[in-house]
Amino acid sequence: MKATLEIRQAVRPWVQKSVARILIGVSGGADSMALAMATIAEAKGPQVEVIAIIVDHQLQRGSGDVALRTKQMLLMKGCDRVEIYPVEVVLIDGMESSARRARYQAFDQAIDAYKPEYFLLGHTKNDQAETVLMGLARGSGTRSLSGIATENGKFIRPMLEITRDRTVTACEENQISPWEDPHNSDSQYLRVRARTSVLPLMEEQLGPGIVDGLARSARILREDADALDLIADELFATLKFRDIEVSALEALPKAIRMRILRSAIYEAGAPSGALGADHLTPVEALVSDWHGQGVISLPGGVKVERISGRLYLSTAK
């Protein structure tokens, strides 16, 4: 039971800090089932209620049957309660992103309904490595390359230091046959290609330890990004975000300046998560490469223009 004990040790601090209940997102796969088994075992002592949340994306024939079998297995293994949330995946920006959006909407509904201290998710060190690798391929910034956070509000990912093969072993130790999602072997998805083709090739050509190295890089980059965000937030608090003196930004390092501009644009009304480098670069150029550019239009109807040495932000009505 060595793998199970490793996962129990990772889960234990969150169970110990809980008062009433913990929610767990469970798909039926090895990662989430191993997490569920460890949490159920840890919660018996302090009598913390464990509620599993199964999201049925309804993307495959028989997905409802998979959800029901997973529910029955969890109840048999001692889970206090299991809820199935059928969702409709509205295709907006690719299947992976759209399914994730629908899944987290269901998770948020469960949080509103049950008021848990924490909502545990089964992401592993392999997921972390894949996320960093995909960020590198997209040319993402420090925050994206810092990968998946262990703690994000009520959402907790306690297994980011545990590899996927350990969750498979933990399922074997608990006599569980996890569900194999067909999407996890479909090479049309970028994450699947990173998992099944790119990372194994890197291991073959560069030697073992790639997953550990990428996960370690994510931790370091997250620490750096947190420090830069803190500095930028403190400076942003001193500015009038709709009327910023260019001279107050010119002397700042670009990494800080970009963060301040992002905060100002969001404060002005841009939708959360809507800004990318293609939006911020022309705004930053109003400070660092000024040659009479016109008004820049951004998501949410936000507009930015430079007039007489100041940046003015407005929102279209």
Same domain, yes or no: 124 and 257: no
**Which residues does 161 contact at the CB level (< 8 Å), separation at least 6?**
10, 125, 215
How many other C-beta atoms are found inside a 10 Å radius of the C-beta of residue 19? 8
| Amino acid, res. 281 | T
Give the pLDDT of residue 108: 97
Pair (192, 245) in one structural domain: no
CA distance 15 to 289: 52
- Rounded to 5°, angle at Cα 81 from 75 and 83: 100
Mean pLDDT computed over every residue of the chain: 92
Edge-to-edge order in the sheet of strand 81-86: 81-86, 49-56, 21-25, 118-120, 155-156, 151-152
Higher pLDDT, 47 or 120: 120
Q: Is residue 254 part of a domain?
A: yes
In the listed set 181, 206, 231, which residue is the last one of a domain according to the structure? 206
Q: Which CATH number characterizes residue 281's domain?
A: 3.30.465.60
pLDDT at residue 134, rounded to an integer: 87
Residue 317: predicted pLDDT: 62
Return the structure tokens found at 250: 């010119």
In terms of domains, do 265 and 130 share one?
no
Which residue matches tokens 């079998």? 69
Asked, for residue 219, whether it belongs to a domain, the answer is no
CATH number for 186: 3.40.50.620
224 occurs within a structural domain: no
**Do 69 and 112 fall within a single domain?**
yes
Summarised one tens digit per residue, pLDDT across range 52-65 is 999 999 988 889 99
174 and 31 in one domain? yes
Could you tell me the pTM of the whole model?
0.84
Q: At what angle do helices 164-173 and 125-138 cross, to 10 degrees?
A: 150
Specify the number of domains making up the chain.
Answer: 2
Clarify whether residues 259 and 177 are in a common domain: no
Residue 302 belongs to what domain range? 239-315
How far apart CA 36 and CA 227 sit, in angstroms, is 34
Distance (Å, rounded) from C-alpha 122 to C-alpha 99?
Answer: 16
**Based on the domain organization, do 22 and 112 belong to the same domain?**
yes
Question: For 100-158, what is each residue's pLDDT tens digit?
Answer: 899 999 999 999 999 999 999 999 999 999 999 988 887 777 877 888 999 999 999 99
Residue at token pair 């998710």 = 121
The per-residue pLDDT for 207 is 87
Give the pLDDT confidence of 188-214 residue by residue, as tens digits: 888 889 988 999 999 899 888 999 999
- On whether both 197 and 250 belong to a single domain, the answer is no
Q: Give me the pLDDT at residue 61, please.
A: 87
What is the model's pLDDT at position 286? 96
Q: Tell me how far apart the alpha carbons of residues 117 and 292 are, in angstroms, rounded to a whole number.
A: 52
Specify which residues 21 forms β-bridges with.
49
292: buried, middle or exposed (CB in 10 Å: 19+, 13-18, 0-12)?
Answer: exposed
Does 225 fall in a domain? Answer: no
Provide the pairing of β-strand 310-315 with 302-307.
antiparallel
Task: Answer yes or no: is pLDDT of 235 > 90.
Answer: yes
H or E stretch covering 51 = strand 49-56
- Categorize the per-residue pLDDT at 181 as very low, low, confident or very high, splitting at 50, 70 and 90: confident
